[in-house]
Amino acid sequence: MTIPHPTGVHPAWLPPAAFRAAGSRRVLVLADEPTTAHGHTPAEGTAPTQGAAPADGAALVATVRAEVAEACGRHGGAVAALGQACDLVLALTSARALPPAAEAVRGPEIGPEGFLLGRQDGVTVVLADDPAGLLYGWFEVVRQGEAAFGPAGDHAPEAAPPAEPHRPELEPTEPHPPALEPTEPHRPAQRPAEPHRPAQRPAERHRPALKRRMLDHWDNIDVHPVMGQVERGYSGGSIFWRDGARCADLTRVRAYGRLLAASGINAVTVNNVNVHATEARLLTDRLGEVAAIAAELRPYGIRVHLSVNFASPIQLGGLPSADPLDESVREWWARTTERVYETIPDFGGYVVKADSEGQPGPFAYGRSHADGANTLADALAPHGGVVHWRAFVYNHRQDWRDRATDRARAAHDHFAPLDGQFRDNAILQVKHGPMDFQTREPVSPVIGAMPGTRLAVELQVTQEYTGQQRHVCYLPPMWSEVLGFRFRSEDTVADVATELVAVSNAGDDPYWTGHPLAQANLYAFGRLAWAPRSDPAAILDEWIGLTFPEAGEALRSTLHTMMDGSWRTYERYTAPLGVGFMVRPGHHYGPDVDGYEYTPWGTYHFADRDGIGVDRTRATGTGFTGQYPEPWSEVYESLAECPDELLLFFHHVPYEHVLRSGVTVVQHIYDTHFAGAEEAAALRPLWEKLAGEVDPALHARVKERLDEQIRCAEEWRDQVNTYFLRKSGVPDARGRRVY
């Protein structure tokens, strides 16, 4: 096992210096090499545990040993043998002999992928029931740095309570917001060494809240004439595919797996959900290419999944039909899936986009989506695999004149009546909002409507509608609001969800994510998938501490200031009050207020001379509010109770409607767009002060992106404000320049 360090690639949140605290210690690794990731051999004929780590647990143990050896070799520590003095023990509970410090930490069963972290008699101990937990425990020690060898405190696993579904009402915006000043970081991720190290630290149990934490890659093998190598990708090409084939050098794929494991990810889909002709063959004659990728990710506990075309029995098998209830179709899927597992024994399963935006699906045969999903689920079940069936199904050829048809309603209309009809290994993958990853949306009512179905909540790390990695936009505060939303009881979205899935933002760019600061979104998704109640501000400081481990306070506090409120800054200068879109059609970058207004995509704002917004009420509109349970159906129905930040998503209101902040809708639009552009402009001088504090190439890349963000924010400000001045005839009350 060789630790990957691809040449010319930024190390992201795993630079060598981040390993100094652990690598300068004497480290003992105790792990009897198990047959499976959980340290035991499964009974003959039984399927692997769904969602478990890959079956080759010995590979994970080898990874831990290699990680420890490299860190110690680099930073002056030592790999200890049993019986020798040590400062850090990483051990499986099944190990034949544990030192006294580890025995003292041992407690009740830890659980899959989890670990105990404590300190006894001056020795820091990580105990895990399986090798995956051991690997995650190692990365937790790296994350804590010197704090792992001191008292408990900032890094205890109990996190902040889930975010409330809505923040306090929007405050009136100052006409000239003060320049941003660096603030004290919420929680530093690395600490300097202290002269005194307490000998004891109570054991803390860390284990993932969700057993599958997955990234979908919308990567194409062939360069698509419109969408390119990576659909909605803003970070160069694919790390998996190039020039119509698998990348010859997969070192970067293994490095990617290492980054993901360090953040808590354990599953990856390697191709686009829009499965084109070439990509469809990954299921059959090009399966070896998928197996090669799986081999690179396996040492870091990551299972590979594959997006497949619903019509594969026709396209690949030569059958006349893809009817999911046709026995020959079911047999084809079963045979094909068996061959997949013969090639990749720890294969995760399939991802399917069907009856959506031109993709084939069961509707062509008069079948339901449960029928379609269950056919694939039955083929996967004997092998322990799962199918992720996307709920992104709507009419993309809508007549813009028809106000009764509502894209927001579509997923609930199609899927809620099917609750309880999906197999246990069929996961319904639901976008977090009812539209399409907008800067502000309500939580999808589908998530609260299907208690008898396993659900994966889908987020988007790639910034399709949030600045495309040209703008600083730290998204976890938005995700935290979604995960903390409560439909009708104490259960949050995070409690209801079986899994968390996101569209990755990584590519072959030297900085992985195009904008170096966008790495924080990728890291934070993994951390929130592991622990959905975590504080986004604390995760941000973790990322800063790991990525810039030798940084001074000025860099840490400045980065925190620039990034922590950046989602709300982006929201201020783009589409107002939850109305969404207003972007250039096709590529979705930059302002175009009416760009989608007369198209068939169902993405309208209905602005006229009198007002703006979509009437989704039961009383006079599309009835979408009725898809929510109480109390939300009444909250969203009521103009008086609807949160201001979602007002235009649910209601068509006059421009002079007064928000709870005390300003009118049109004045709010003016104020926020001026404020958002000013906040964006304030980022540049903060970053310029950091010249010399970071690598010059990284500094130049961020400055280039900030320049574009400022330009684009001003364009948003001027186009949106001018549009609504001309529509409404109402001038800005503060007399600022509107064109």
Task: For residue 185, report the phi and psi dihedrals to the nearest 5 degrees.
Answer: -60, 150
Torsion sign (Cα): 262, 265, 270, 275: negative
d(CA 150, CA 36): 33
The whole-angstrom distance between residue 162's C-alpha and the CA centroid of its chain comes to 17
> Residue 486 gets which letter from DSSP?
B
d(CA 156, CA 273): 38
174 is catalytic: no
Residue 723's CB is within 10 A of a number of other CB atoms, namely: 19
d(CA 415, CA 179): 48
Which residues make beta-bridge pairs with 215? 268, 502
Which residues make beta-bridge pairs with 389? 352, 428
d(CA 579, CA 77): 56
Q: Given the residues 406, 436, 441, 645, select the one marked as catalytic.
A: 436
- Is the bond preceding residue 631 a cis peptide, omega within 30 degrees? yes
464 is catalytic: yes
630 is catalytic: no
Q: Write 494-498 long-range contacts (CB < 8 A, 24+).
A: 494/162, 494/209, 494/210, 494/532, 494/533, 496/447, 496/448, 496/451, 496/455, 497/210, 497/447, 497/455, 497/456, 497/457, 498/210, 498/211, 498/212, 498/427, 498/454, 498/455, 498/456
Which residues make beta-bridge pairs with 89? 28, 125
| Type of residue numbered 669 | I
CB 27 within 8 A of CB 88: yes
> Residue 387 gets which letter from DSSP?
E
Candidates 5, 4, 13, 172; CA nearest to 545 is 13
Residue 704's CB is within 10 A of a number of other CB atoms, namely: 12
Candidates 138, 137, 108, 130; CA nearest to 52 is 130
Strands 123-128 and 26-30: unpaired
| Type of residue numbered 321 | S
CB 261 within 8 A of CB 136: yes
User: Mapping DSSP to helix (H, G, I), strand (E, B) and coil, where does residue 592 land?
Assistant: coil
CB 371 within 8 A of CB 325: yes
In order of 90, 264, 406, the CA distances from 626 in angstroms are 53, 37, 13
Torsion sign (Cα): 608, 611, 615, 620: negative
Torsion sign (Cα): 641, 646, 647, 650: negative
Q: What is the dihedral of CA 126, 131, 137, 142, to 10 degrees?
A: 110
Residue 8's CB is within 10 A of a number of other CB atoms, namely: 5
Q: Given the residues 169, 357, 491, 594, select the one marked as catalytic.
A: 357
> Residue 162 gets which letter from DSSP?
P
Candidates 544, 684, 524; CA nearest to 185 is 544
Strands 499-503 and 386-390: unpaired
Give the position of tokens 């803390």: 204
| Type of residue numbered 549 | P
The whole-angstrom distance between residue 92's C-alpha and the CA centroid of its chain comes to 30
DSSP H or E run through 335 = helix 327-343
DSSP H or E run through 456 = strand 455-460
Q: Given the residues 129, 441, 464, 615, select the one marked as catalytic.
A: 464
d(CA 369, CA 422): 9
In order of 5, 19, 75, 411, the CA distances from 14 in angstroms are 10, 8, 14, 39
Kindly list the catalytic residues.
357, 436, 464
